[in-house]
Structure 1
Amino acid sequence: MGGSSSRDQPTETSNSSFFTEDELRNLKSEYETGGMEKAKLLIQRKINDLENTELNIAVTGQSGAGKSTFINAMRGLDKDDEGAAETGPTEGTMEPTGYRHPNLPNVCLWDLPGVGTPKFPARKYLKQMKFDKYDFFIIISGCRFTENDVKLAKESKRLKKNFYFVRSKIENDLHAMRMERGDFNEEEELEKIRNYCNRNLQEAGIQSPRVFLISSIDLNRYDFNLLNNALEGDLPSIKKSIYILALPNLNLEIVERKKKELKKRVWMLASLSGAIGAVPVPGVSLGCDIAILIGGIIDFRKYMGLDDASLQRLAKMAGKPVEDLKAVVNSPLVGEITPDIINRLAWGTAAVVISVLEITLDIIPVVGSIFGAGSSFLMTYKLLTGVLDNLTVNAEKVVTAAFGTD
């Protein structure tokens, strides 16, 4: 692909876990020698990693290529929103400028000056841009990739950094074709643009480049999902999860990917609940740790784009009244989370049959078998699984109301 080869990483498990094989062996050993109290520390450390790991994405290209528009779109923001990157025809970026994600502040997209400008000659660019801090580079062009873009890509490869070529403003190319020629085969023309970009990059010395055609004003079209798949395939487990959760809910595929990532967190939160000990919920015979449960619900709701601020941003992106999106949401989880709501959720899980054996074999590689069926662990696991299912259904309804079906 148009990036470096995969980084050497510890082998990750095939199950739904953020733990490597070595970490799982260590987790089992800690439990066997020190009980759940020692294993709990390793699980908590992994959760802290998920909450605190930073993801820094560098976006570079020539003036007018559409860097700022792309950065705003990736954060679900309009150019007029608070905190949006300034867009315009002139080169406004004279130094790396970071733009934090509105829901995940540890995710930052950096708008970098175009390489090869008088102030930033190519030979000094990488040092001045503090190259090592970025996880990967997105090189954007609004027309054709330049010699300086190629130099940046080659240096990225040399330093084992992944890079991705994005050909932006594709909607403008297609509009010009329609004005000039009338009807034409859109897929054939898109393939011609890809081939042109690939040939241009190969002639400049980039082996097997991959170019993604993007419209930042309509990310649902063209190659945006292909770009996401490429990025996710190259990122290590935790950063991949963070990247997926940072995506705006543009389509049902993104919602499903978020659900898959969040399901990996359910067993860890449930394990902490089981380790800490049950705090009975009023009116419910089984207990769970209330703080862990409420925190999980609030985080899951935010990641699934169902908090008020996320709904406002999505409505603006889709050009729909936010009331239309809120109207399709039918869940007690979007308001204040009270003991009464948890109580109702807990009674609802009575009909959910999840055996300890199923949990152990499915997604809990080590610690699932140490909790009994009536434990705080199992209760928290059932509750958070139900919460995630409920939020997913409602997020899908919102996406359909915003953009229609896939």
Structure 2
Amino acid sequence: MGNYSSRQQAAQSETPTYFTQEELSKLKSEFKTGGVENVQPLLQKKLKELDKTELNIAVTGDTGTGKSTFINAMRGLCSEDEGAAAVGITETTMEPTGYPHPNLPNVRYWDLPGTGTPQFTTDSYLKKMKFEKYDFFIIVSAGRFTENDAKLAMEIKRLGKKFYFVRSKIDADLNSMRQQRKEFDADAEMRKIRRYCVSGLGKAGIPDPTVFLISSFDNDMYEFPRLMKALADDLPKIKQSVFVLALPNLSVEIIQKKGEVLKERIWMLAILVGGVGAIPVPGLSAACNIGILIGVIIYFRECMCLDHVALGRLANRKGKSVEALKAAAPSPLLGEITADVIVWLCTALVAVSAVASVLYFAPLVGSLFGAGSSFLMAFLILSNALNLLIECAIELLAVAKGAE
């Protein structure tokens, strides 16, 4: 009981995620004067704002550095997948080309033309690429970083934007060294490569640069996970949440982070589900909008890379069938989501613990709760669905790593 009280007090002293203090005050005021019906339009507006939040990520550098392969890796795609960025030895990009995330189209990676080519001198490059539109820049090199890279970084800094240096193809370099030497220390060699990159950038005018050593083919190894964490941490809260949901499931940590982002939205969705066109359903103790519930669960499934298309891509890469993957993590949530599945989700739920969780995220609607309220029922269903999807994603990650 003590833990519940302290958690409730903490919730009431914090601003719910995504809301400014002004928005929170308006929510409380509208709820006091008109109840949940007055709150729903404000929450619908906020959810639409989250859905429409754009994130534009520029990937640039000299030709042949692996920009397209990197973009595909960040989107969870291989070069053979539909919608993948074209991969070629020669420069394949003459104009900035945007590649949307497969499930979150407002997240877009831009493959910029390589610098230092006959088509683009550095000066003309800076003018034509319209740097202002991008949220941050990733400068990729497959060897040493050049004077062009340093000039780009300084221009990006002048515009007040973030940039990150990525040294690609580290796997190929280490494999080549391993074959040539009787004694080989991968960590020591990576330190040498880093010093070489940092030294070159320092001479070109970038003091103390941070360089990430990655392989786009082994994107759960080397410093690919550290890069993704750095990119997320430097973004504003709303864009950070969008970026996290767009990440491929490379680790348990990423999957759990996605779960945290989605859990912060559940209370808003539950208010809409419990009040907009709610109808009784046999087997449920309160009326809910089943159509919205199903749509939200499908959205959760896509964010967790558990939709049929994402499972198909994973199956192809691991030489398995989609049915074999589903058998490894059996759940009704991986099939068609129907009213019967919604009723199934209601089984074995503990209402008291759910109330505590809701109060933690949404103190302003605490007075709505009762064991049979539509809001609480919707919250229970969505929370249970998300927890099960997180478990499925973690199980399939283990299966994928086992296949490797």
TM-score by length of 2: 0.91
Contact residue 145 and residue 200 of structure 1 kept, 8 A: yes
Q: Give RMSD over aligned pairs.
A: 2.1
Q: CA deviation at 1:42?
A: 1.8
Q: CA deviation at 1:192?
A: 1.9
In 1, Cα distance between equivalents of 2:23 and 2:382: 24
Cα pair distance change 1:212/1:319, threshold 3 Å: farther
In 1, Cα distance between equivalents of 2:325 and 2:209: 40
Cα pair distance change 1:33/1:157, threshold 3 Å: farther
Contact residue 320 and residue 402 of structure 1 kept, 8 A: no
Q: CA deviation at 1:117?
A: 2.4
Paired residues for 1:7-406 under 5 Å: 17-276=17-276, 278-318=278-318, 320-349=320-349, 351-354=350-353, 356-360=355-359, 362-404=360-402
CA deviation vs aligned residue, 1:266-315 (integer Å, no higher than 9, x gap): 11101223443642121322222212211111101111111111011123
In 1, Cα distance between equivalents of 2:188 and 2:224: 18
In 2, Cα distance between equivalents of 1:16 and 1:222: 35
TM-score by length of 1: 0.91
Q: CA deviation at 1:233?
A: 1.0
Which of 201-210 and 365-374 deviates more?
A: 365-374
SS at match of 2:267: helix
Cα pair distance change 1:405/1:23, threshold 3 Å: farther
Gaps of 5+ in 2: 1-12
SS at match of 1:281: coil
Q: CA deviation at 1:323?
A: 4.2
Contact residue 63 and residue 115 of structure 2 kept, 8 A: no
In 1, Cα distance between equivalents of 2:324 and 2:379: 33
SS at match of 2:352: coil
Q: CA deviation at 1:15?
A: 6.5
Partner amino acid, structure 1, of 2:73: A
Q: CA deviation at 1:53?
A: 1.3
In 2, Cα distance between equivalents of 1:375 and 1:277: 15
Cα pair distance change 1:322/1:30, threshold 3 Å: same
Contact residue 274 and residue 287 of structure 2 kept, 8 A: no
Partner amino acid, structure 2, of 1:394: C
In 2, Cα distance between equivalents of 1:278 and 1:170: 55
In 2, Cα distance between equivalents of 1:385 and 1:283: 18
In 2, Cα distance between equivalents of 1:395 and 1:67: 28
CA deviation vs aligned residue, 1:152-190 (integer Å, no higher than 9, x gap): 111111111111111000011101111111332211211
Partner amino acid, structure 1, of 2:388: N
In 1, Cα distance between equivalents of 2:158 and 2:394: 42
* Alignment: residue pair count: 392
Cα pair distance change 1:15/1:399, threshold 3 Å: farther
CA deviation vs aligned residue, 1:225-279 (integer Å, no higher than 9, x gap): 1111111111112211111111111221211111111111111101223443642
SS at match of 1:138: strand
Contact residue 67 and residue 140 of structure 1 kept, 8 A: yes
SS at match of 2:124: helix
Query: Alignment identity in percent?
Result: 56
Cα pair distance change 1:238/1:316, threshold 3 Å: farther
Q: CA deviation at 1:100?
A: 1.4
In 1, Cα distance between equivalents of 2:327 and 2:205: 53
SS at match of 2:76: coil
